[in-house]
Amino acid sequence: MQPETETTKEVSIEKTKEELSNDILLAALKLFTEKGYFNTSLVDIAELSGVKNSAALYKHFKNKQEIARALYTWIIDRLSVSIDDIRRRNRKSSEQLREIVDLWFRLTDDAPDIMRFLLLLNVNEFLPDEIKLMETPPFIKILRILHGGIKAEEIKTVDSQRAYCYFFGVIENTLTQILSGALKKPADFYQNDTWEIAWSTISK
Amino acid sequence: MQPETETTKEVSIEKTKEELSNDILLAALKLFTEKGYFNTSLVDIAELSGVKNSAALYKHFKNKQEIARALYTWIIDRLSVSIDDIRRRNRKSSEQLREIVDLWFRLTDDAPDIMRFLLLLNVNEFLPDEIKLMETPPFIKILRILHGGIKAEEIKTVDSQRAYCYFFGVIENTLTQILSGALKKPADFYQNDTWEIAWSTISK
DNA sequence: GTCTATACGCCGATAGAC
DNA sequence: GTCTATCGGCGTATAGAC
């Protein structure tokens, strides 16, 4: 998963620069989703990430915003790759959507912070110049999938934006309640039922 | 709407203390939903509310958090009263839900900042001691309505929490997209369709 | 009781010694 | 290139003059 860099020929307990950068992002992800961007200081991030002190953070990122920005693009890129993969492996939009739902639910169980970041944070509040979540590649691609389903007469609703509201309204609200603890069981427990309901809102 | 206080016998251009407090809350509402709580300074609130300077704010509220708290309870109380009224006027849960949807959509058109506050802001990020939105009276009451509908066999789903996810997932996601501009028409335009879909997710 | 002037703390960011 | 020490600014909050 983690590619070996050429510089680390010798075995070393010390972390490489990339590993540390990664740790910083993970720490930031945890803290931002837990307390919010503005309640998280660079000292907090330094402590949790294992970087010696907050000044050392500037060896890895230009400033606090850049940490958030790197996090955002990292998550978006990862999603985008996954969606590409799903589109490649499936032809029908119903199958593609089913796999996206599966991904969303698995992320909620296995990487809840990522889902919290996507569903709970207002990214534009601390990254005002960044494009809105719904305009990023993965979500554009999801809208395309819905559009394709409408053209193929798999999906009934007139426009893809509204199909998104119905379908992902059900999905995302369920996941939000799981993440907040209002629904007690793991996401996986709710997946099939939620898929059925969500799909029924848009299927022809 | 605005009750006359006993102290203002004479006609006056000056605003009463209550009017000013109200203006402060409205200014804070606008700014918080626009830029976020942490990007809003007391100077911003003073300017927009017509209070002379930021120091004067402390004549009305103990501190910045208290402004946010007052805003939160004001909105929650208003909602709670409306829900009580809806429950009094209707017997069937389908009718009650229909009226709540109508209220949600009307607020989105007529008082979008209130809906933005409810749907877009993470209140607990700046009011960590306040109870979560889903645990406030109006939302408890909505869960009771859903529970009643399940017992009366109007609604199919097993538990009310999940019925909430499905039904209000559709509603809230649609309103969110309207507020963010992804759906271009006024909320009223989408109300009937959205209600039909949302109700279909839980009706027996 | 209104407003100016200011105190104070926190945190992001930097400089510079070693 | 690591870490200490510190700067500077913003924004909340207060004190005190009139």
Residue B13 has pLDDT above 90, yes or no: no
Domains of chain A, with CATH numbers? Answer: 1-61 (1.10.10), 68-202 (1.10.357)
Alpha-carbon distance of A53 to A42, in angstroms, equals: 9
**Which residues from chain B sit within 8 angstroms of residue A168, using beta carbons?**
173
Asked if B132 has any chain A CB less than 8 Å from its own CB, the reply is yes
Burial (Cβ within 10 Å: 0-12, 13-18, ≥19) of residue A181: exposed
Model confidence at B15, in pLDDT bands (50, 70, 90)?
low
Measure in Å the smallest separation between the Cα of B69 and chain A Cα atoms.
Answer: 18
CB atoms within 10 A of CB A89: 10
Six token digits for residue B105: 């959509």
- Model pLDDT, residue B18: 76
- Determine whether the interchain pair B180/A38 forms a contact, defined as Cβ–Cβ distance below 8 Å: no
Q: Which of A165, A174, A193, A195 to mutate to test the interface with B (most CBs of B within 10 A)?
A: A165
- Model pLDDT, residue A14: 58
Six token digits for residue B202: 């839980």
In the Cβ-directed half-sphere of B16, how many Cα atoms lie within 13 Å?
Answer: 13
Distance of CA A147 to the CA centre of its chain: 22
Packing angle, helices B137-151 and B93-110, rounded to 10: 150
Residues of chain A with pLDDT under 50: 1-12
Asked if A63 has any chain B CB less than 8 Å from its own CB, the reply is no
Six token digits for residue B63: 């501190």
pLDDT digits (tens, 9 = 90+) for B105-148: 999 999 999 999 999 999 999 999 999 999 999 999 999 999 99
Measure in Å the smallest separation between the Cα of B49 and chain A Cα atoms.
Answer: 22
Provide the percentage of residues in chain B whose pLDDT is more than 70.
92
SS3 per-residue string spanning A87-121: HHHCCCHHHHHHHHHHHHHHHHHHCHHHHHHHHHC
Side chain identity, residue B193:
D
Alpha-carbon distance of B149 to B164, in angstroms, equals: 12
Between A122, A166, A168, which is nearest B120 by CB? Answer: A122
Find the distance separating the first CA and the last CA of chain B, reported in whole Å. Answer: 41
B-proximal residues of A, 145-184, CB under 8 Å: 161-162, 164-166, 168-174, 177, 180, 182-183
Asked if A122 has any chain B CB less than 8 Å from its own CB, the reply is yes
Q: What is the pTM of this model?
A: 0.91
Secondary structure of residue B16 in the 3-state scheme: coil
pLDDT digits (tens, 9 = 90+) for B153-195: 999 978 999 999 999 999 999 999 999 999 999 999 999 999 9
Six token digits for residue B199: 């109700």
pLDDT digits (tens, 9 = 90+) for B33-90: 999 999 999 999 999 998 888 999 999 999 999 999 999 999 999 999 999 999 999 9
Are the C-beta atoms of residues A29 and A17 closer than 8 Å to each other? no
Q: How does DSSP assign A159-187, residue by residue?
A: SHHHHHHHHHHHHHHHHHHHHHTSS-S-H
**Which residues from chain A sit within 8 angstroms of residue B171, using beta carbons?**
169
Q: What is the dihedral of CA B53, B58, B64, B66, to 10 degrees?
A: -140
Residue B9 has pLDDT above 60, yes or no: no
**Which residues from chain B sit within 8 angstroms of residue A146, using beta carbons?**
none
Which residue in B has a C-alpha nearest to residue A120's C-alpha?
B122
